[in-house]
Chains A and B, each alone.
Chain A
Amino acid sequence: MTAWLLLLAALLLLSLGGALWRIWRGPDPADRMMAAQLAGTGGVGTVLLLAAASDWRMLDAGLVLALLAAFAAIGFVKAQSADGTGDPEEDEVPLPDDGGAGSATPGGAGSDAR
């Protein structure tokens, strides 16, 4: 069982190598960020496999990685917004299927913290 889990972990790592290629190539910054998310999810999977193969106390590391995996992506989407600190959902976006007739955001200002 341990050998099987370690073998799976090695294969999982190899598939994460594909993410590296997308970070190198991805024309859009969103592509690069998504590949980092892939590495994060794959990293959680690898941590869990290692925990089952050697020491179950490593589950805490998996918890921490799963919790914090989203942070870089959130920082990224905020940096991409118009003023650097906003929310992509605050912009009006003409949805492609209705040709601009509908907008993606209902009226209403964002929640501001004073």
Chain B
Amino acid sequence: MTGYAATGFDLVLAALILATAGLAISVRDLFAAVVFFIVYGIFVALAWLRLGAIDVALTEAALGAGLTGVLLIGAVARLARNLVERRPEGSGEGGLLAAPPVSRAASPAARIPAMLGSAGISAVLGWAFLAQPADEGLRGPVAANLASSGVTNPVTAVLLNFRGWDTLLESVVLLAALTGVWALARDEDWGLRPGLRQHARAAGVLATFGRLLPPFGLLLGVYLVWVGASRPGGAFQGGTVLAAVWLLVMMAGLMAPPRVTSPRIRAVLIAGPLLFLAIGLAGALAGTFLALPPAVAKWVILLIESGLTLSIAATLALLVLGPPQSPATPAGHTRDRP
């Protein structure tokens, strides 16, 4: 009985994921596509839960349904505003309804290679999945060495101990992404605050929400990092929740984003990767790069995760805000427009 119910659920979920993905790429209105993408993120998080990957589901829910949604909606709004300003008689309404961006059909010269490429990648992925031997993968070796890793959550052990190298590189990649976004600023805007000035009605609904939510959000973020040692959680999940909280406070107009040249925010941004690198080099002096002696592994991992959480939270929030802009710069007029 349970088996049938589980299979039924999985079938419905798989059908919904396919339907949402298909609708996202076939709808003309770009805002509708973004909304479909957000809903797709929610369904994929459910799929991760069914597969037993709770850590990944946490990250997917926080990033896909939360932060990426805000980022993409802001992008579509910028695009719409660009289109309005380029029209000779702007309707002056602003907002997404003034000129809802519509995806234009690409020429066949662009479509055919794209179709072939996507079909090829799907075929290779399918073949790779079907050709996999049905074994346990890394579960055996990880379980055997878990006792010496300092944590009891195997995912955290792999991320921060056994394969700490990959996590170090990931944190640097995030920093590089932020640098890329900041590089879009115009030369005369450098030194200002990221994004346009956010404001909200004092004591209105948005400002109140910006005061109500942060206590819960802070608690949840710190809890996720702390509990990641033994249960699903970790630095990325906690950092994403903290980024969302900070973003909300800034969007509600309760706090201004820091200037991009501020030394304090730069210190916070590089604290995580730098700490991780320093610990790795300390290990190198003792023998192996990024080796954590089992006696102190637990506390060292906690230290690394604290630094990473701060950096990830700051980086993600600043990524969503965008490059520094002066209020006189109309939205969307960055480096590509004079």
Q: In the bound complex, what is the Cα–Cα distance between A40 and B65 (angstroms)? A: 8
Q: Which residue of B lies closest to A25 (CB)?
A: B32
Query: B residues within 8 Å of A by Cβ?
Result: 1-2, 4-6, 8-9, 12-13, 16, 19-20, 23, 27, 31-32, 35-36, 38-39, 42-43, 45-46, 49-50, 52, 54, 57-58, 61-62, 65-67, 69-70, 73-74, 76-78, 81, 94-97, 100, 195-207, 209, 213, 216-217, 220, 224, 227, 231-233, 237, 241, 244, 247-248, 250-251, 253-256, 331
Assess the B201–A79 pair: CB atoms within 8 A. Answer: no
Task: Report the minimal beta-carbon distance from B123 to chain A, rounded to whole angstroms.
Answer: 28
Q: In the bound complex, what is the Cα–Cα distance between A87 and B201 (angstroms)? A: 6
Given contacts A13-B16, A71-B69, A89-B204, contact A64 B74 (CB under 8 A): no
Q: Secondary structure of the A side of the interface?
A: helix
Task: Report the minimal beta-carbon distance from A91 to chain B, rounded to whole angstroms.
Answer: 9
Contacts of B247 in A (CB 8 A): 71
The answer, yes or no, to whether A10 is at the interface (CB within 8 Å) is yes
The answer, yes or no, to whether A52 is at the interface (CB within 8 Å) is no
Contacts of B67 in A (CB 8 A): 68, 71
Given contacts A6-B9, A84-B331, A87-B253, contact A67 B220 (CB under 8 A): yes
Contacts of B195 in A (CB 8 A): 85
Query: 6 tightest CB-CB pairs across the interface, nearest first?
Result: A68-B66, A72-B69, A79-B77, A6-B5, A75-B70, A111-B202
The A42-95 residues at the B interface (CB cut-off 8 A) are 43, 46-47, 50, 55, 57-58, 60-61, 63-65, 67-72, 74-87, 89-90
Assess the A23–B32 pair: CB atoms within 8 A. Answer: yes
Assess the A23–B241 pair: CB atoms within 8 A. Answer: no
Contacts of B32 in A (CB 8 A): 23-24, 26, 32
Residue of B65, B224, B241 with highest tally of chain A CB at under 10 A: B65
Contacts of B65 in A (CB 8 A): 40, 43, 65, 68-69, 72
Q: Secondary structure of the B side of the interface?
A: helix
Given contacts A29-B31, A71-B67, contact A87 B200 (CB under 8 A): yes
Contacts of A19 in B (CB 8 A): 39
Task: Report the minimal beta-carbon distance from B26 to chain A, rounded to whole angstroms.
Answer: 10
Provide 17 A-B residue pairs closer than 8 Å at the C-beta atoms, listed in order of the A residue.
A3-B2, A6-B5, A13-B9, A43-B42, A47-B49, A50-B50, A65-B61, A68-B244, A71-B248, A76-B96, A77-B206, A87-B207, A89-B200, A90-B201, A108-B202, A111-B207, A113-B254
Task: Report the minimal beta-carbon distance from B248 to chain A, rounded to whole angstroms.
Answer: 7
Given contacts A85-B197, A86-B199, A110-B199, contact A58 B54 (CB under 8 A): yes
Contacts of A46 in B (CB 8 A): 46
Q: In the bound complex, what is the Cα–Cα distance between A71 and B204 (angstroms)? A: 17
Residue of B67, B70, B195, B250 with highest tally of chain A CB at under 10 A: B70
Task: Report the minimal beta-carbon distance from B31 to chain A, rounded to whole angstroms.
Answer: 6
Assess the A82–B5 pair: CB atoms within 8 A. Answer: no
Residue of B20, B69, B203, B241 with highest tally of chain A CB at under 10 A: B69
Q: Which residue of B lies closest to A70 (CB)?
A: B209
Contacts of B202 in A (CB 8 A): 108-111
Contacts of B46 in A (CB 8 A): 13, 43, 46-47, 50
The answer, yes or no, to whether A98 is at the interface (CB within 8 Å) is no
Q: Which residue of A lies closest to B93 (CB)?
A: A82
Assess the B94–A3 pair: CB atoms within 8 A. Answer: no
Contacts of B250 in A (CB 8 A): 113
Residue of B20, B201, B248, B254 with highest tally of chain A CB at under 10 A: B201
